[in-house]
Amino acid sequence: MKNDIKNILITGSSSGIGLEAAKLLCQDGHNLILPCRNESRAEYLLLKIEEYKNLKCNSSQNIQAPILDLSKIKSVKKFSENLLKSKEKIDILILNAGLQYTGSPSPRWSEDGFELTFAVNQLSHQCLAQILIPSLSKSTKPRIIITSSEVHNPLTPGGKIGKPAYLGNLNGLMSSERFLMLDGSSNFSADKAYKDSKVCNILMGQELSRQISKRNLNISVTAWAPGLVIPKSDSGFFRHSRKYNELGQRLFALAARDLFKITETPEKAGYLLYQLAISSKFYNTKFRYYSNKIIGFASKSFQEEDISNEAKNIDLAKSLWNKSSELLGL
């Protein structure tokens, strides 16, 4: 057990990358807040952590799995405000939960009437970050880490497949009506909605960083891309998309993982997230973006990377933040 015990909140730790990072952080003895969408996911997660602890360590820190459904603004606000009121310090906030349902011809909607990918991957995460900044500022070296994706960038190999990410002037978000796509397009694409949400993640990181330095706070804000993570099991990130194209998704997974070896394991991606959380190498006073980049056959390098041109647009970052803040009622 380390001396420097931190309070760490991770969204999306009931599965995949978040779960693997949570196990490693638990092994180091940190206190963990691991919100889950419902009781059964919370029970599953606590069981997984307990199994891991019995196997690897005997630490006895505080590990909680409160209920937080990121598709419900009311749930996110209540959770964050209660945490703020508890006056508990948060050292590290990891905004990692995400979903994709590529292949679906029609949109899915959140409780509040937002397209689900935007609601879960972006809007709810801004809500958490915006409300919890005072809890982070109690820490000596606080960090916010946001899990984005290389597909946010139309110039990367992943970003080139299918419709590219494009937010334009956020005409959809700015309209007073229920919108299909953030750029205002009336052609729904679940794949593009996901890519767009990942541009939003980086814009949010930049805007957070700008606001933090304006307020003279020392919170490190980092976004990162884990690479293509496809486990051998039937679980994993692509389980939702698989429902719409079972054969295509399975063939893609086989080719990417077993033939071309361009995928990453959840364990390794979880380790990278763990490093981002605890290594002093990744504590930055300026916004940074890292990517687990393919550099050769079965070979990757985790390095600082350029973000897409659209993600660099500071005015767009401000507009996204301000409009989202208004929609969240903050």
Ligand X SMILES: NC(=O)c1ccc[n+]([C@@H]2O[C@H](COP(=O)([O-])OP(=O)(O)OC[C@H]3O[C@@H](n4cnc5c(N)ncnc54)[C@H](OP(=O)(O)O)[C@@H]3O)[C@@H](O)[C@H]2O)c1
Active site residues: 194
Q: Tell me if 98 contacts ligand X by CB under 6 A.
A: yes
Which H/E stretch holds residue 144?
Answer: strand 143-147
Place of tokens 């879960």: 120
**What is d(CA 116, CA 119) in angstroms, rounded to the nearest whole number?**
5
**How near is the Cβ of 33 to ligand X at its closest, in Å?**
13
Instruction: Specify the stretch interacting with ligand X by CB under 6 A; choose among 163-171, 175-183, 185-193, 222-230.
Output: 222-230
- Using a 10 angstrom Cβ sphere, with 0-12 exposed, 13-18 middle and 19 or more buried, the burial of residue 241 is buried
Taking the least distance from each CB to ligand X, the nearer of 90 and 94 is 94
**How near is the Cβ of 240 to ligand X at its closest, in Å?**
8
Reported residue count of the chain is 330
Helices within the chain (DSSP H only): 16-27, 39-56, 73-85, 116-118, 124-136, 157-160, 171-174, 190-214, 239-242, 246-253, 266-278, 314-328
**How near is the Cβ of 273 to ligand X at its closest, in Å?**
9
State which of residues 99, 173, 202, 311 lies at the interface with ligand X (CB under 6 A). 99
Q: Tell me if 69 contacts ligand X by CB under 6 A.
A: yes
Q: Exposed e or buried b for every residue in 77-107, given b needs 16+ CB within 10 A?
A: bebbeebeeeeeebbbbbbbbbbbbbbbeeb
Taking the least distance from each CB to ligand X, the nearer of 1 and 182 is 182
**What is d(CA 167, CA 310) in angstroms, rounded to the nearest whole number?**
8
Taking the least distance from each CB to ligand X, the nearer of 87 and 160 is 160
Taking the least distance from each CB to ligand X, the nearer of 69 and 191 is 69
Strand partners, 225: 291
Q: Tell me if 17 contacts ligand X by CB under 6 A.
A: yes
Q: Tell me if 70 contacts ligand X by CB under 6 A.
A: yes
Which H/E stretch holds residue 63?
Answer: strand 63-64
Taking the least distance from each CB to ligand X, the nearer of 118 and 285 is 118
Q: Tell me if 147 contacts ligand X by CB under 6 A.
A: yes
* Coil, helix or strand at residue 64: strand
**How near is the Cβ of 233 to ligand X at its closest, in Å?**
10
Q: Tell me if 162 contacts ligand X by CB under 6 A.
A: no
Name the site residues for ligand X (rule: CB under 6 A): 12-18, 37, 41, 69-71, 96-99, 120, 147, 149, 225-226, 228-229, 236-237
